[in-house]
Amino acid sequence: MTCTHSYWVVPLPALQRSSAMSDFVQTRRVGNVLVITIQNPPVNALSHAVRLGLTTAVAAAREDTLVQAVVLASSGTLFIGGADIREFGQPRQPPLLSQVCDEIEALNKPVVAAVHGPALGGGMEVALAAHFRVGGPQAQFALPEVLLGLMPGAGGTQRTPRLIGAKAALDLMLTGRRIEAARARELGLVDRLADDPLETAIIWAQALADQGAAPRRTCDGHGLDDIQASAAAIQAARIEVQRKHSQLFSPARIVDAVAAALEQPFEACIRLESELFLQCLDSPQRLGLVHAFFAEREALKVPEAAADAPRRLERIGVIGGGTMGAGIAVSLLDAGLQVILVERDEASLARGRATVEKVYEGLVAKHRLSPEACAGRLAQLEGAVGYGALADADLVIEAVFEDMAVKKAVFTELATICKPGAVLATNTSYLDVDVIAASSGRASDVIGLHFFSPANVMKLLEVVVPRQAAADAVATGFALAKRLRKVAVRAGVCDGFIGNRILACYRRAAEYMVEDGASPYEVDAALRGFGFPMGLFQVMDLAGGDIAWAARKRRAATRPADERYVHISDRLCERGWFGQKTQRGWYRYADGDRHGQPDPEVLAIIAQERRRAGVTPRVFSAQEIVQRYLGAMINEGANVVLEGIALRPLDVDVVLVNGYGFPRYRGGPLLYADQVGLPVLLERMQAWAVEDAQFWRPSELLLDLAHRGESFASLNRRGDKR
Beta carbons of 470 and 593 less than 8 angstroms apart? no
Q: Annotated catalytic, 691?
A: no
Give the residues across from 384 on adjacent strands: 342
C-alpha angle 6-9-13 in degrees, rounded to nearest 5: 140
Residue nearer to ligand NAI on the CB measure, 38 or 414: 414
- Binding region for ligand NAI (CB under 6 A) out of 47-55, 219-227, 316-324, 575-583: 316-324
CA dist., res. 500 & res. 433, Å (int): 14
Residue nearer to ligand NAI on the CB measure, 428 or 519: 428
**CA dihedral in degrees (287, 253, 661, 582; nearest 10)?**
170
Supply φ then ψ for residue 579, to 5 degrees.
115, -150
Residues in 345-404 that interact with ligand NAI by CB under 6 A: 348, 352, 399-402
Helices 520-530 and 536-543, interaxial angle, to 10°?
110
- Binding region for ligand NAI (CB under 6 A) out of 22-30, 121-129, 223-231, 342-350: 342-350
In angstroms, give the least distance from the CB of 417 to ligand NAI. Answer: 12
- Binding region for ligand NAI (CB under 6 A) out of 58-66, 232-240, 344-352, 639-647: 344-352
CA dist., res. 134 & res. 114, Å (int): 5
Site string for ligand NAI, 228-247 (x = CB under 6 A): --------------------
Among 323, 468, 582, 583, binds ligand NAI (CB under 6 A): 323
In angstroms, give the least distance from the CB of 658 to ligand NAI. Answer: 14
In angstroms, give the least distance from the CB of 300 to ligand NAI. Answer: 21
In angstroms, give the least distance from the CB of 348 to ligand NAI. Answer: 4
Q: What is 169-205 written as a DSSP string? A: HHHHHHH---EEHHHHHHHTS-SEE-SSHHHHHHHHH
Residues 527-534: contacts with CB within 8 Å, 24+ apart? 527/625, 527/626, 527/629, 529/622, 529/626, 530/626, 530/630, 530/663, 531/247, 531/662, 531/663, 531/665, 531/666, 532/661, 532/662, 532/663, 533/661, 534/661
Residue nearer to ligand NAI on the CB measure, 188 or 661: 661
Residue nearer to ligand NAI on the CB measure, 307 or 347: 347
Site string for ligand NAI, 181-220 (x = CB under 6 A): ----------------------------------------
Among 73, 316, 410, 701, binds ligand NAI (CB under 6 A): 410
| Per CB under 6 A, 661 contacts ligand NAI | no
CA dist., res. 341 & res. 318, Å (int): 5
CA dist., res. 94 & res. 76, Å (int): 25
| Per CB under 6 A, 324 contacts ligand NAI | yes
Q: How many residues form the binding site for ligand NAI (CB under 6 A)? A: 25
| Per CB under 6 A, 320 contacts ligand NAI | yes
Sign of the torsion formed by the C-alpha atoms of 187, 188, 194 and 195: negative
In angstroms, give the least distance from the CB of 484 to ligand NAI. Answer: 15
Among 12, 96, 406, 417, binds ligand NAI (CB under 6 A): 406
Residue nearer to ligand NAI on the CB measure, 405 or 557: 405
Q: Which residue is nearest to ligand NAI (CB)?
A: 322
CA dist., res. 171 & res. 251, Å (int): 11
Among 233, 319, 424, 702, binds ligand NAI (CB under 6 A): 319
Residue nearer to ligand NAI on the CB measure, 266 or 578: 578
Residue nearer to ligand NAI on the CB measure, 223 or 320: 320
CA distances from 429 to 226, 398, 450, 479, 496 (A): 55, 12, 7, 21, 6
215 secondary structure, DSSP code = P
Percent of the chain that is helix, strand, coil (3-state, to 5): 55, 10, 35
In angstroms, give the least distance from the CB of 503 to ligand NAI. Answer: 11
In angstroms, give the least distance from the CB of 643 to ligand NAI. Answer: 22
| Per CB under 6 A, 325 contacts ligand NAI | yes
CA dist., res. 95 & res. 442, Å (int): 60
Give the residues across from 584 on adjacent strands: 579, 588
243 secondary structure, DSSP code = H
In angstroms, give the least distance from the CB of 606 to ligand NAI. Answer: 25
Query: 70: Cβ–Cβ under 8 A, 6 or more apart, which residues?
Result: 33, 34, 35, 36, 58, 61, 107, 109, 110, 111, 112, 205
CA distances from 346 to 11, 353, 380, 383, 384 (A): 75, 10, 19, 9, 8
Choose the catalytic residue: 145, 304, 398, 522.
145
In angstroms, give the least distance from the CB of 443 to ligand NAI. Answer: 19
- Binding region for ligand NAI (CB under 6 A) out of 215-223, 320-328, 388-396, 640-648: 320-328
In angstroms, give the least distance from the CB of 373 to ligand NAI. Answer: 26
Residue nearer to ligand NAI on the CB measure, 321 or 477: 321
Residue nearer to ligand NAI on the CB measure, 8 or 401: 401
Residue nearer to ligand NAI on the CB measure, 403 or 700: 403
- Binding region for ligand NAI (CB under 6 A) out of 165-173, 187-195, 285-293, 426-434: 426-434
Q: Among 316, 650, 341, which residue's Cα sits nearest to residue 483?
A: 316
* CB neighbour class for 18 (10 Å; exposed up to 12, middle 13-18, buried from 19): middle
Q: Annotated catalytic, 314?
A: no
Strand 69-74 to 33-38 pairing: parallel
| Per CB under 6 A, 343 contacts ligand NAI | yes
Site string for ligand NAI, 523-562 (x = CB under 6 A): --------------------x-------------------
Q: Among 152, 122, 155, which residue's Cα sits nearest to residue 50?
A: 122
Residue nearer to ligand NAI on the CB measure, 146 or 433: 433
Query: 675: Cβ–Cβ under 8 A, 6 or more apart, which residues?
Result: 284
> What is the per-residue burial (b if ≥16 Cβ within 10 Å, else e) of 75-110?
bbebbbbbbbeeeeeeeeeebbbbebbbbbbebebb
CA dist., res. 506 & res. 495, Å (int): 15
- Binding region for ligand NAI (CB under 6 A) out of 28-36, 233-241, 315-323, 649-657: 315-323
Residue nearer to ligand NAI on the CB measure, 406 or 438: 406
- Binding region for ligand NAI (CB under 6 A) out of 447-455, 479-487, 529-537, 617-625: 447-455
Residues in 452-481 that interact with ligand NAI by CB under 6 A: 452-453
| Per CB under 6 A, 270 contacts ligand NAI | no
β-sheet with 179-180: strand ranges across: 118-120, 140-142, 179-180
Q: Is 451 helix (H, G, I), strand (E, B) or coil?
A: strand
CA dist., res. 539 & res. 594, Å (int): 11
| Per CB under 6 A, 437 contacts ligand NAI | no
68 CA to centre of own chain: 45
Residues in 585-624 that interact with ligand NAI by CB under 6 A: none
Choose the catalytic residue: 87, 103, 105, 125.
125
Question: What residues are annotated to the active site?
Answer: 125, 145
Binding stretches for ligand NAI (CB under 6 A):
319-325, 342-344, 348, 352, 399-402, 406, 410, 427-429, 451-453, 543
